[in-house]
Structure 1
C-alpha cells in the first residue's frame, strides 16, 4: 500500500526466526550485544528460541569452573525443555549432569569432552538420555565400562559414540577391553565409533565389528595392539572405513600437549553474563572497565544501537542511540 515501507523492521521478526539468525553469532555477541539492540531481540535471547542448540565448547575450554557451572545452568534453564543439542567441555559438578538429564527430553546431540562424571552418576542419568543419537565422552577419564554399559542399555537410538582418550590417561592401563566389550554388547546401531588411544586387543575389535553391523567408521588411532589384516577387512567389511592405529595425529605432532587448560581470556564474558542474569547491570564502571581493559578486547567488539532502546541503554552502561 502507498505510504507503507516495503521492508519489515528487524524487531518485528518472530522469536523463532530471530533465534535461527542469532545462531550465526558468537556466544559473546548473543549474550552481551543482542539484548541491548531492542526489546524484541532481548526477549528472544532471554527466551528458549536461541538455546535449543547450545554450543559453548570452545568458550568452556577457557573459562573458570565456577563460571562454567553458572553459564550451563543459565542456558539450560533458558531452553525451557526444548534443548536438542548441548556441547560443553570440562564439566566437573554432578549437579550439572543431573540438570542436563532433567532437561534431556528432546536432547539428541550431547558432547561432554574432558568432563569429570563418574560411573555412578552416568548410571543414574542414563535413563533420561533415551533420545540421544550422538554422544561424545572423549577424555572423560573417570568413567569406564559400567558407564558405557548403562548408556548402551538406555540410549537405544545411539548411532555415534566418541570415546577418544588422551595418550597419557591410558599409558598406565593394562587393558580396556571391558569398555570395548560394553560397546559391542549394548550398542548394535552404531554407525560411527571413535576409540583413539585405547589399550584394546584385536579380538575385542573384531567383536565390535561383528556386533555393530551398521558401522561405517571406526577410529583406532593409537590402539597399538590392534592388528587388522587389510585383505580380511576389505573382504568382510567393504563399507567400513578404519582410521589407524598407525596415524600421526594432534598429540604426536604436539608432544601430547593437553589443550584442556583454561586461560583467563574469557573471564570478562563470564562476569558480564552473570551480572546480567542477576538483574540489571551494575553501574560499577571500575569493575567492568578492568575486565575489558585487561583483556584488550573492547576494540574488537562492535556495538550498534537502534531507536527505541534508550530506556534500556543505561542498564548496560552503553550510550543512547544516536
Structure 2
C-alpha cells in the first residue's frame, strides 16, 4: 500500500502559494505553529504583500490581542504597532497593499514607519488621524512612488499639498469632505490618469462637479452619492454622456441637506449622518 503523504512534506512553493491567500490573523497565530515546514513557508515575503488590518479587532480584550500576546510572549503588552511591525518585517519591503484600521490603534508613527519600510505600495487605505497629524500626510504619501489607489475617510487639511505629492499615475481616489474650486483644480491638474473618483457624502457645488466632468479626461467611474451642494440636472447628465464615464452614481445628492441647510461642513460625524 502506498504510504500516505503528510501535510508537512508538501513542497514549500505549494505551501507559499496557499498561505499567501490567507489573512493576517491566520498567518500570525495559526499556520506558523503547525510545524517547522509551515512556519518556514510563512516567512516567504509573498505571503505578506497584502496587509489588511481593517477587519481585525485590536481592542485589548479581543481574542486576537490575547492570543498574539500569549503566542509571542508579550505578557499582555500587545498593541497594533507591535502587530504591524511583525507583518511589515515579514514582508521585507515587498508589500503592495495596506489597509489600516479605521479608528482604533493606528497612529501617525505607524504611517511613517510603513512609508519607510514599504516603498512599493500600490494601494493604501488610511485611518482617521488627529488634525494635528494631518500636515505630515503629504510627506508620508510622497514616499509611495508606485501608489495607484488611495482611500481615506475625511479629506485632510493638507489635501492640496497631498495631491501634489501623489504619484501622477494614481488611478483611484476615495474620500469625503468639502471640495471647493481649488481642491477640484488640483485633482484635475495633478491626477491626469484618474479613472475612479469617489467623493460620496461630500459638500460640492455644481460648478465643481462640472469642473471634474470637464477636466478629468480619463475618468471612467464617478461616485457622488449623498452629497450636499448640487442636484443632478439635465446639464450635468448631458456632460456625463459626452465624457466617456461608464459609471455615474449620484443617488441621494441634493442642493441642501435634509434639514434644509446648504452647508460646507466637513465634520465626519455630520457627513455620515446624511
Q: TM-score range by the shorter chain?
A: 0.7 to 0.9
Q: Out of 232, 239, 244, which is 2:250 matched to?
A: 244
SS of 2:212's partner is helix
Structure 1's 78 and 235: CA in aligned 2 closer, same or farther, altered over 3 A? Answer: closer
Q: Name the residue aligned to 2:124.
A: 110
Please name the residue that 2:82 is paired with: 70
> Which is helix-richer, 1 or 2?
1
Alpha carbons of structure 1 residues 42 and 17: separation in structure 2 relative to 1, 3 Å: same
Distance in 2 of aligned mates of 1:257 and 1:23? 37
SS in structure 1 opposite 2:112?
Answer: helix
Q: Provide the rounded CA distance (Å) in 1 between the counterparts of 2:21 and 2:219.
A: 32
Please identify the structure whose Cα radius of gyration is greater. 1
Give the CA deviation at 1:201: 1.6
Residue matched to 1:31? 28
Give the number of equivalent residue pairs: 239
Asked if the contact 1:47/1:78 (under 8 Å) is kept, the reply is yes
Q: Does 1:200 align with 2:214?
A: no
Is the Cα contact below 8 Å between 2:217 and 2:243 reproduced in 1? no
Match of 1:22 among 19, 22, 26: 19
Report deviation, 1:219.
1.1
CA distance in 1, matches of 2:128, 2:17: 29
Gaps of 5+ in 2: 66-77, 259-268
- With over 3 angstroms needed to count, the CA separation of the structure-2 counterparts of 1:222 and 1:257, relative to structure 1, is closer
Give the TM-score of the pair, scaled to structure 2: 0.73
- Is the contact between residue 191 and residue 215 of structure 1 (CA under 8 Å) also seen in structure 2? yes
Unaligned runs of 5+ in 1: 259-322
3-state SS in 1 of match to 2:142: helix
Structure 1 contact 54–85 (Cα < 8 Å) conserved: yes
1:42 corresponds to which of 39, 42, 66: 39
Structure 2 residue aligned with 1:210: 214
1:139 & 1:44 partners in 2: Cα distance?
Answer: 39
Deviation at 1:142, TM superposition (A): 5.4
Higher relative contact order (CA 8 A, sep 6+): 1
**Match 2:92 to one of 72, 77, 80:** 80
Answer yes or no: is the 8 Å Cα contact 2:213–2:240 preserved in 1: no
Calculate the aligned-residue CA RMSD, in Å. 3.3
- 1:101 maps to 2:105: no
Relative to structure 2, which stretch is displaced further, 26-35 or 4-13?
A: 4-13
Deviation sequence 1:23-49 (CA, Å, 0-9, x none): 444433322221111101112224423
- Determine if contact 2:80/2:106 at 8 Å carries over to the other structure: no
Quote how far apart the aligned CAs of 1:120 are.
2.6
Matched-pair contact (CA < 8 Å) for 2:160–2:186: yes
Contact 2:88 2:118 in 1 (8 A): no
Question: What is the aligned partner in structure 2 of residue 284 from structure 1?
Answer: none
Map residues 260-275 of structure 1 onto 2, 5 A cutoff.
none
CA distance in 1, matches of 2:227, 2:146: 30
Shift of 1:18: 2.4
